Amino acid sequence: MSPAQAAAANGPQVAAPLWVLLPALVLLPLLLVLPGISHGGGWELVGQFASAALQPSLDPLVLRSVLSGLGVTMGIALLGWAGSVVLGVVLGVASSRVVWQTVTGSTALAGWIRRLLALPRSIHELLWGLLLLQLVGLQPAVAVVAIILPFGALVARVISDLLDALPTRSLEALRCAGAPAGPALLTALGPPLLPQLISYSGYRLECALRSATLLGVFGLGGLGTELKLTLQSLAFRELWTGLWALLITMLLLEMLLGRLRQRWAMPGRLALGQTRVGGSGRELLWAGAALLPLLGAVAWASGWIRPACCAGSPCRRCQRPTGGRWRPCPGERSWATRW
Scan residues 53-112 and list those touching other proteins (CB under 8 A).
none
Nearest distance in Å: CB 296, other proteins = 27
Per CB under 8 A, the list member of 170, 218, 235, 260 interacting with other proteins is 218
User: Per-residue x/- mask for other proteins, residues 238 to 277, rule CB under 8 A?
Assistant: -----x--xx--xx--x---x--------xxxxxxx----
Stretch that binds other proteins, among 88-96, 182-190, 198-206, 301-309 (CB under 8 A): 198-206
321 backbone dihedrals φ, ψ, rounded to 5°: -65, 145
Residue 278 interacting with other proteins (CB under 8 A): no
Nearest distance in Å: CB 172, other proteins = 20
Residue 123 interacting with other proteins (CB under 8 A): yes
Per CB under 8 A, the list member of 134, 274, 324, 333 interacting with other proteins is 134
Nearer to other proteins by C-beta: 166 or 295?
Answer: 166
Beta-carbon contacts of residue 142 (< 8 Å; ≥ 6 apart): 129, 132, 133, 136, 220
257 backbone dihedrals φ, ψ, rounded to 5°: -65, -35
Residue 331 interacting with other proteins (CB under 8 A): no
Side chain identity at residue 305, one-letter code: I
CA distance 301 to 157: 32
Per CB under 8 A, the list member of 57, 68, 196, 241 interacting with other proteins is 196
Please, are residues 335 and 68 in contact by the beta-carbon 8 Å criterion?
A: yes
Per CB under 8 A, the list member of 20, 31, 32, 290 interacting with other proteins is 20
Residue 136 interacting with other proteins (CB under 8 A): no
Nearest distance in Å: CB 265, other proteins = 13
Residue 335 interacting with other proteins (CB under 8 A): no
Residue 32 interacting with other proteins (CB under 8 A): no
71 backbone dihedrals φ, ψ, rounded to 5°: -60, -45
- By CB atoms closer than 10 A (0-12, 13-18, 19+), residue 73 is buried
Please, are residues 239 and 227 in contact by the beta-carbon 8 Å criterion?
A: yes
Nearest distance in Å: CB 38, other proteins = 5
Tell how far CA 1 is from the center of its chain. 39
Stretch that binds other proteins, among 60-68, 200-208, 299-307, 313-321 (CB under 8 A): 200-208
Nearer to other proteins by C-beta: 162 or 179?
Answer: 162
3-state secondary structure of 140: helix
Torsional sign, CA 251, 216, 78, 210 = negative
Per CB under 8 A, the list member of 2, 3, 12, 319 interacting with other proteins is 12
Stretch that binds other proteins, among 102-110, 160-168, 286-294, 311-319 (CB under 8 A): 160-168
Residue 294 interacting with other proteins (CB under 8 A): no
Beta-carbon contacts of residue 278 (< 8 Å; ≥ 6 apart): 195, 264, 265, 266
Residue 274: DSSP 8-state: P
What is the CA angle 62-66-68, rounded to 5? 120
Of 267, 337, 270, 262, which is closest to residue 306 (Cα–Cα)?
A: 337
Per CB under 8 A, the list member of 94, 103, 109, 217 interacting with other proteins is 217
Residue 189 interacting with other proteins (CB under 8 A): no
CA distance 185 to 162: 14
Residue 116 interacting with other proteins (CB under 8 A): no
Per CB under 8 A, the list member of 63, 89, 109, 231 interacting with other proteins is 231
- By CB atoms closer than 10 A (0-12, 13-18, 19+), residue 213 is buried
